[in-house]
Structure 1
Amino acid sequence: MKKFQVLRKMRRNLLAITALSATVLTACQKDSTSTEVLGNWARRSEFEGVSRTEGVSFVIGDKVYVGSGFDGTNRLNDFWNFDYTSGTWYKVAAFPGTARNSAVAFTINGKAYFGTGYDANGNKLNDFWEYDPSTDKWTQKADFAGGGRYNAVGFAIGNFGYIATGYDGNYLKDNWQYNPATDSWKQVASLTGSKRTEAVAFVHNGLAYVVSGQNNSLYLNDFYAYDPTTDSWTEKRKINSVDDDNSYDDEYGEYIKRSNATAFVMGNKAYLVAGNINGASKTVWEYDIANDLWTEKTALEASSREGLVGFSVSNRGFIVTGHNSSTRFDDCWEFFPEEEQTDIDN
């Protein structure tokens, strides 16, 4: 009788373990589905210049330009026009000023503006230039009034350009407005949050957004939007898990914070790509601008990197160049945020 009771108890325990295993497996499957990410990267025609990092890109109409940067030995001054429809790169007029990396660029009314950065002699630069694609010529303009610096952010809203943050031997949070009509600079409201270098900026519906970067070797979690009509900054939600009362940031962890990344806008979403997160990264996060929410997307299907450039044209988003340790890249990739990941280049 006792032997029978022991066997029956063992059988009940085995059934309980089997049921528990099935529950755990189901939970794991549900968790896997809940964390599934979307997005597909397709390789495009390689950048035709030498491999490089920390260059710039700008878009004038439907024309994309990429140039400057560092190839591991030399600072560079070449610029290239990318025909994204055919995959062809065309060399344009070389920048006539000091070759550099870690500069900024933006466009206003059909012309590009380029300045700041770091040269081969360790100088932090404040010269500022205009590029006219109709003549393929560069013209020097009034020096940037904020002083020499590198790893700043540059953006344009309406008829004005802006250069903010960066590093000049100290971490910075100031913000300067450029008026091309008068070729003049004036200081406007400084970033409300932390000083920073190696941040990104993007523009949507008349507002500029500044996010990521680092200060004193710490990756930053604060995020701000600038409104030029009121000359004021508005804080957005933090980009890591800090809100214990709500679940929207449960998946953020510390994974969005980074430096030396790139960003581009497609439709009503912005994309923060790669960068440095205790080493070169390939992770991608989508920012829902209207709802102030972040969602992880498929990681870049190429080598991890920082110092890359990104751009969007005709609502298509691309990244190109960058570096991982001593390796510089010349590959170019296009992102399709709502597609499932594939292993086949489109």
Structure 2
Amino acid sequence: MKNLLLAALLTLVALNFSACSSDDDETTVILGDWKKVSQYEGVARNSAVEFTLNDKAYVGLGTDGVDKLTDFWEYTPGTNTWRRVADFPGVGRYLAVAFAANGKGYVGTGYDGVNKLADFWEYDPTANQWTRKADFGGSARYSAVALTINDKGYVGTGFDGNSKKDFWQYDPLTDTWTVKPSFGGNKRLGASAFTIGNVGYLMLGSNNGTYETDVWSYDPATESWTQHRDLVLHDDDDDAKDYNFSAVPRQNAASFAVDGKGYVVGGTNSGNLISCWAYNPATDIWYQKTDFEGSARNYAVGFGIGDRGYVALGLNGTTRLDDTWQLFPEKESE
């Protein structure tokens, strides 16, 4: 009888352990399915810009290693096709910024190989036409970041001979730039940014050779910045538990927002990266997604349309890239 009771107890323990293990596995499943989609139709390049309008992405500028480019291309996810649109009329450049606001796209700043730039241009997708607008309100620079909040554009950080941390708002209705409060972190270039709801997020980059891990949000309603949890490794659940894993800083990463979460993909930290991280603002937690399945790269572009994210172009060593990849954030990798 004792042996039978002991056997029954051991079986019960084993079943409970198995159930717990299954639950734990579910909370640590790394989701995200990458699929290669239509190749970018222009020449391979790095340090391009992108903006999205009407469920289409517009990608252009950058460098092919020799020329500073001015061509622009429109990507339509519904048909998985690229179409050339009007060339950018300003000087060819790379490491510029772009954003969309009030139904138009805006492109400016950057580097033409000799000069740091401050000019800004508006793209009208209906007329397929570019118009020069007011120059950027800050100093001429490159490697800045840009984002859109409530139909206004924001540009900050970058390098004008020194690393910067200023932050400027562009109003497309009045064609004016207004300086806004700067965030509390260090100066930087090669940072990442995305917008979730009515809040903009700025993070990462490097400052005098030091990779930053801090994350900040800007609320235009109060013109205030809030510091959030650094980009570090966390368990893939919503319990807000910090397991004290190592930090994963980077610069020149691709970034985008999809379904209320922000994403950072690739970039460089003493070597090109393929890791993909998602940020949940409701829990202030970063969690790991499936690694990017293309070549490791930096200076890529990222954009979100609908429920999918995209990463395209970039630089791997001395190789410029022209592939485009689509991320289904909540699917298991196939």
TM (normalized to structure 1)? 0.85
Shifted more, 246-255 versus 66-75: the winner is 246-255
Q: 1:269 Cα deviation (Å)?
A: 1.3
Unaligned runs of 5+ in 1: 1-25
Query: What's the secondary structure of 2:158's corresponding residue?
Result: strand
Judging changes above 3 Å, is the alpha-carbon distance between structure 1 residues 35 and 159 closer, same or farther for their aligned structure 2 residues?
closer
Query: What's the secondary structure of 1:166's corresponding residue?
Result: coil
* 8 A contact 1:268–1:290 mirrored in 2: no
Measured in 2, the distance between the counterparts of 1:265 and 1:187 equals 25
Alignment of 1:104-253 (within 5 A): 104-121=97-114, 123-240=115-232, 248-250=241-243, 252-253=245-246
Q: Deviations over 1:66-101 (max 9, x none)?
A: 101111111111000111121111000000101011
Query: What's the secondary structure of 2:110's corresponding residue?
Result: coil
Q: 1:302 Cα deviation (Å)?
A: 1.0
Q: Deviations over 1:242-271 (max 9, x none)?
A: 9xxx9833264122x110001111112111
Q: Which residue of 2 aligns with 1:55?
A: 48
Among 289, 296, 299, the residue aligned to 2:291: 299
| Paired residue type of 1:310 | G
Query: What's the secondary structure of 1:281's corresponding residue?
Result: coil
Measured in 1, the distance between the counterparts of 2:28 and 2:250 equals 21
Q: 1:149 Cα deviation (Å)?
A: 0.5
Q: Which residue of 2 aligns with 1:22?
A: none
Q: 1:35 Cα deviation (Å)?
A: 5.1
Query: What's the secondary structure of 1:125's corresponding residue?
Result: strand
Q: 1:205 Cα deviation (Å)?
A: 1.3
Q: Deviations over 1:5-64 (max 9, x none)?
A: xxxxxxxxxxxxxxxxxxxxx9xx99x957542211000010000000110111111121
Greater gyration radius: 1
* 8 A contact 1:74–1:120 mirrored in 2: no
Measured in 2, the distance between the counterparts of 1:83 and 1:186 equals 33
Number of equivalences: 310
Measured in 1, the distance between the counterparts of 2:274 and 2:107 equals 27
* 8 A contact 2:302–2:311 mirrored in 1: yes
Q: Which residue of 1 aligns with 2:312?
A: 320
Judging changes above 3 Å, is the alpha-carbon distance between structure 1 residues 204 and 49 closer, same or farther for their aligned structure 2 residues?
same
Measured in 2, the distance between the counterparts of 1:65 and 1:241 equals 32
Cα RMSD of the aligned pairs, angstroms, is 2.0
Measured in 1, the distance between the counterparts of 2:117 and 2:89 equals 14
Q: Deviations over 1:75-129 (max 9, x none)?
A: 11100011112111100000010101111111111101110001122x1100011
Q: Identity rate of aligned residues, in percent?
A: 45
Q: Which residue of 1 aligns with 2:69?
A: 76
Query: What's the secondary structure of 2:221's corresponding residue?
Result: coil
Measured in 2, the distance between the counterparts of 1:60 and 1:87 equals 16
Q: 1:230 Cα deviation (Å)?
A: 1.0
| Paired residue type of 2:30 | V
Measured in 2, the distance between the counterparts of 1:40 and 1:265 equals 16
Does residue 337 of structure 1 match 2:329? yes
Q: Deviations over 1:143-162 (max 9, x none)?
A: 11201101111111113211
Query: What's the secondary structure of 2:274's corresponding residue?
Result: strand
Q: Which residue of 1 aligns with 2:5?
A: none
Does residue 65 of structure 1 match 2:58? yes
Measured in 1, the distance between the counterparts of 2:290 and 2:151 equals 36
* 8 A contact 1:68–1:75 mirrored in 2: yes
Q: 1:241 Cα deviation (Å)?
A: 7.0
| Paired residue type of 2:89 | P
* 8 A contact 2:86–2:129 mirrored in 1: yes
* 8 A contact 2:307–2:328 mirrored in 1: no
* 8 A contact 1:69–1:101 mirrored in 2: yes
Does residue 282 of structure 1 match 2:274? yes
Q: 1:240 Cα deviation (Å)?
A: 3.2
Q: Which residue of 2 aligns with 1:44?
A: 37
Judging changes above 3 Å, is the alpha-carbon distance between structure 1 residues 241 and 266 closer, same or farther for their aligned structure 2 residues?
closer
Unaligned runs of 5+ in 2: 1-17
Measured in 2, the distance between the counterparts of 1:107 and 1:76 equals 20
Alignment of 1:250-289 (within 5 A): 250=243, 252-255=245-248, 257-289=249-281
Measured in 2, the distance between the counterparts of 1:270 and 1:241 equals 15
Measured in 1, the distance between the counterparts of 2:75 and 2:65 equals 23
* 8 A contact 1:113–1:128 mirrored in 2: yes
Judging changes above 3 Å, is the alpha-carbon distance between structure 1 residues 314 and 240 closer, same or farther for their aligned structure 2 residues?
closer
Measured in 2, the distance between the counterparts of 1:174 and 1:317 equals 28
Measured in 1, the distance between the counterparts of 2:269 and 2:229 equals 20
Measured in 2, the distance between the counterparts of 1:239 and 1:314 equals 25
Measured in 2, the distance between the counterparts of 1:200 and 1:328 equals 20
